[in-house]
Amino acid sequence: MAGAFGCSILRVEPIPLSRPWFGQDELARVREALEGRSAGDGPFCRRVERALAERLGAPRVLLTTSCTHALELALLALGVGPGQEVVCPSFTFVSTANAVLRVGARPVFADIEERTLGLDPAEVERRLSPRTAALIPVHYAGVAPDMERLLDLAGARGLFVVEDAAQALGASFGGRALGTLGDAGCFSFHETKNVACGEGGALALRDAAVGRRAEIIREKGTNRSAFLRGEVDKYTWVAEGSSYVLSDVLAAVLDAQLARFDEIHARRSAVASRYREALAGWAVRHGVRLFPDLPDRQTNDHIFALIFPDGTARDRCMAFLRARGIGATFHYVPLHSSPHGRSFAPDEALPATDRIASRLLRLPLFPLLTSAEVDRVVEAVLDSAS
């Protein structure tokens, strides 16, 4: 590009944290939906629900407008509500706790294990009370916490387990897909996720009766889903409900994404492997942990993160990368220290959560990230602490 004085300015394109991969297949299917049925619970919706159920090994999957809504719908269908408590991490996205509040229950924050960045079973146990109705483990970066102990704990007390698997499609624990280990699993198809449709979600359920309740709540409290299956000759209002059903236009996008599932994951995995190899020596020298790094967990390369020995080193690296146009970012402002979290949980002490949240830095990771871009990110990380 020619500058004001005729000299050439080298423009370096910014590298975002993530970018969805949409193409001609998505456009063709969207057109098909628009020319056919665009409302929810249409042919694309049914097809994607069947494909997800098969992929996950789940008896029932319902597409929803978001993972936030899948979490809300799960709690409503399980009957969690006012006067009850739900134990969840503070190291998570706001939706985990919002869903609990939206059904009238109270989120109780428990600390995480630094190994998995997921709920610490001993910390969960400390937070249980006679009012506890459910646990919401979050599979951060597609890494399961100690699900064996969490499921044992829930089983012994008759608590529901609702998995926040927003980031976990394609990841597993002990050979079972994340999102199918508890009573309900909630997935996100937000544009930042491995499989995306802009905004969308899914709810995987194992109990048939809960599935029937959920499909009614999802359809404004009507039995429209049963009507569409030809089980009743007209549909009507049968319970209190809302609208959590995904438009077939967006389900059409998901249909195309799922057809490319293996390629999306192979590309993400290639990027993560390149980071891992190129940064291994640097990480050892600087006491930085490359996350995920657990050989006993099968993850989905949703996130690649650096966990620094202290917050100052993390902040310095983040500022350095951003100055070079690289969209590296932290995760998260812990919910217990956010303005709204403090309003109902003012005295929480969650040291592991605070330590991780102040030291973690995410690097760009998406299927279309080129080798040259990965090299630029690696070079910037190496330069940031040389």
Ligand X SMILES: Cc1ncc(COP(=O)(O)O)c(C=O)c1O
Which residues are catalytic, by number?
193
Which of 18, 90, 95, 180 touches ligand X by CB under 6 A?
95
In the complex with ligand X, the residue whose CB is nearer, 137 or 286, is 137
Interaction between residue 218 and ligand X (CB under 6 A): no
Least separation in angstroms between CB 278 and ligand X: 26
Contact status, residue 73 vs residue 218, Cβ threshold 8 Å: yes
Look at strands 85-89 and 106-110 and give their pairing.
parallel
Contact between 93 and ligand X by CB under 6 A: the answer reads yes
Of the candidates 201, 211, 292, 341, which one interacts with ligand X according to CB under 6 A? 201
Whichever of 160 and 187 has its CB closer to ligand X, that residue is: 187
Nearest CA-CA partner of 124 in 80, 165, 161? 161
Checking phi first, is residue 129 left (phi over 0); if not, alpha (psi -120 to 50) or beta? beta
Q: Output 133 or 178, the one with its CB closest to ligand X.
A: 178
Q: Is 90 in the site for ligand X (CB under 6 A)?
A: no
When binding is defined by CB under 6 A, the residue of 68, 225, 299, 300 that contacts ligand X is 68
Among candidate residues 373, 356, 363, 278, the one with its CA nearest the CA of residue 115:
356
Q: Under the criterion CB under 6 A, does residue 367 sit at the interface with ligand X?
A: no
Nearest-Å Rg of the Cα atoms of the chain is 22
354 binds ligand X per the rule CB under 6 A: no
Binding flag, residue 190, ligand X (CB under 6 A): yes
C-beta of 48 vs 313, nearer to ligand X: 48
CA atoms of 358 and 360, how far apart (whole Å): 6
Q: How far is the CB of 252 from ligand X (least distance, A)?
A: 18
Token pair, residue 38, equals 């665009």
Tokens of 146: 């100690």
# residues near ligand X by CB under 6 A: 14
The window from 43-51, 65-73, 171-179, 337-345 that contacts ligand X (CB under 6 A) reads 65-73
DSSP 142: G
**What residue spans of the chain are helical by DSSP H?**
24-35, 43-56, 67-78, 94-102, 121-127, 147-157, 208-218, 224-228, 248-259, 261-286, 311-323, 339-344, 351-359, 371-384
Asked if residue 138 binds ligand X (CB under 6 A), the reply is yes
Nearer to ligand X, 66 or 247 (CB): 66
Site residues, ligand X (CB under 6 A) = 66-68, 92-93, 95-96, 138, 164, 166-167, 188, 190, 201
